[in-house]
Amino acid sequence: MSELHLTAPLTFEPFFVERMWGGRRLESEFGKKLPLQKRIGESWEIVDRPEAQSVVANGPLKNKTLHDLWTQHRKQIFGDAPEAPRFPLLLKLLDAHERLSLQVHPPGQFAGKLGGEPKTEFWYVAAADPEAELLLGFRKPSARDQFEKALREGTAADYVHKIPVRPGDAAFLPAGRIHAVSAGNLLIEIQQNSDTTYRVFDWNRVDDKGKPRQLHIEQALQCIDFNDVAPKLVEPQDELLVRHELFEVQKWNLAAPREISSKGRFAIVCCLSGSLRCGDAHLSPGEFCLIPASLPVQKLEPRRKGTSLLRITIPT
């Protein structure tokens, strides 16, 4: 692996994903330059997948992909991150202009045999309409055959636990948790590097050709945790929102300049509100930068009152 002299955080070009439930809120809320006349549901901000790559937007590594960084400069940029063929996280913005399907992601013990990838994720509610909800887990204990019958009858949503949300709320979704997102949510999603989703119900929607979207009921029923009843939103412990073997997320309210030390670990910063500067990276809401593990201590400087951010890393 070649030696590299890094002096500043890295920023990346976003990768936009069209979804039938998406809208234009990433443009109006976060200033993203979206493709014209497209319903953009997701902006993949930091991604290393065969079908999608983050590309460095600045500095000596400009135009390098995240996979290039992971394979050629791993120690300097990612420090003691766990061994993996690709960068193990995927960070995205999600605009639910319409509600998402009722779905589940596979736990590790089922993903391989079903031909998918395990996916545990975390959501931070960046913006929410007054009626916005997250659907998480079951309202009450449900048997598999009972839920399967409800799927056939189109009443599955009656079984799911609904939680009203407002900006600043957060949810942790272990693989196996049935879930959906109501219309009117703008989320920041931090997840395992996976794109495996098993849909069980899609509100009888059809695509632009009049066809219903594919469902994955058999796979989903193998993955759903039927004992997952009435889960709660994340209860912050001071600045810590979640610490899991896959990722750690903190929320910082930045009233004054603050140092962020790598200690041999990379960190990703996502601006939530206000405006901040880190080295030569200037971040507005919905923008991310990656602070390489080999950089000296960096200073985060708020540029506006009410600046806040998420700090994301992988625990060692």
Q: How many beta carbons lie within 10 A of that of residue 50, not counting itself?
A: 8
Structure tokens at 67: 């996979």
Structure tokens at 300: 């985060």
Reduced to 3 states (helix: H, G, I; strand: E, B; else coil), residue 83 is coil
- Residue 232, exposed/middle/buried by CB under 10 A (0-12, 13-18, 19+)? exposed
Task: Give the C-alpha separation, 266 to 308, whole Å.
Answer: 19
Region at 103 (left for phi over 0; alpha for psi -120 to 50; beta for the rest): beta
The residue among 70, 106, 109 whose CA lies nearest residue 88 is 70
List, in order of start, the domains of the chain with CATH numbers.
Answer: 12-77+85-223 (2.60.120.10), 240-313 (2.60.120.10)
Which residue ranges of the chain lie beneath pLDDT 50?
1
Q: Give DSSP secondary structure letters for 290-315.
A: EE-TTS--EEEEESSTT-EEEEEE--
Task: Give the C-alpha separation, 191 to 220, whole Å.
Answer: 19
Paired with 122 in beta bridges are 172, 190
Q: Which residues contact 224 (CB under 8 A, 6 or more apart)?
A: 104, 144, 147, 176, 178, 200
At residue 221, φ and ψ (nearest 5 deg) are -65, -25
Among the listed residues 199, 243, 265, 277, the single catalytic one is 199
At residue 219, φ and ψ (nearest 5 deg) are -65, -45
Task: Give the C-alpha separation, 151 to 199, whole Å.
Answer: 11
What is the pLDDT at residue 208?
A: 81
3-state helix, strand, coil split of the chain in percent (to 5) is: 15, 40, 45
At residue 108, φ and ψ (nearest 5 deg) are -55, -40
What is the pLDDT at residue 5?
A: 79
Task: Give the C-alpha separation, 264 to 311, whole Å.
Answer: 15
What is the pLDDT at residue 30?
A: 97
pTM above 0.85, yes or no: yes
Contact 310, 40 (CB under 8 A): no
Q: Which helix (H) or strand (E) holds 148?
A: helix 144-153
pLDDT tens readout for residues 107-164:
999 999 999 999 999 999 999 999 999 999 999 999 999 999 999 898 999 999 999 9
Reply yes or no on whether 199 is catalytic.
yes
DSSP letter at 97 equals S
Contact 179, 96 (CB under 8 A): no
